[in-house]
Amino acid sequence: MKTGKTVNLGTPVPNADKPEATDAMGRPATHRKSEVRLGREIQARIGQQLRAMYDEVVKEGVPQHISELVRRLSDNDDEAA
């Protein structure tokens, strides 16, 4: 039945009944980029540099106020148990 009234339903949404795929960051996954792989030598070099960087951080040690806080929290856990 025609009433002569127009109804604006807005812009149609393609595949509105299907959930939109997202990538690991939650962005719409419209297409996949080609995969890039690093050679073994490059991976080894990156690993060496990461180990060297983290070794320096470990050598710095834990600041006194942090170790004191951890000790106090541990004491509280022991008392609660």
Instruction: Please spell the DSSP secondary structure of 10-77, one letter per residue.
Output: -SPPTTTTSPPPB-TTS-B---PPPP----HHHHHHHHHHHHHHHHHHHHH---HHHHHHHHHHHHHH
Q: Measuring CA to CA, which residue among 12, 32, 36, 14 is closest to residue 23?
A: 32
Q: Does residue 48 fall inside a structural domain? A: yes
Q: Does residue 21 fall inside a structural domain? A: no
Quick check: helix, strand or coil at residue 70? helix
Q: Does residue 13 fall inside a structural domain? A: no
Q: Based on the structure, what is the number of domains in the chain?
A: 1
pLDDT tens-digit profile, the chain (81 residues): 445 555 555 555 555 555 667 777 777 776 666 778 889 999 999 999 999 999 998 899 999 999 999 999 999 888 877
Q: Does residue 46 fall inside a structural domain? A: yes
Q: Does residue 1 fall inside a structural domain? A: no
Give the model's pLDDT for residue 10. Answer: 53
Domain that holds residue 50: 40-80
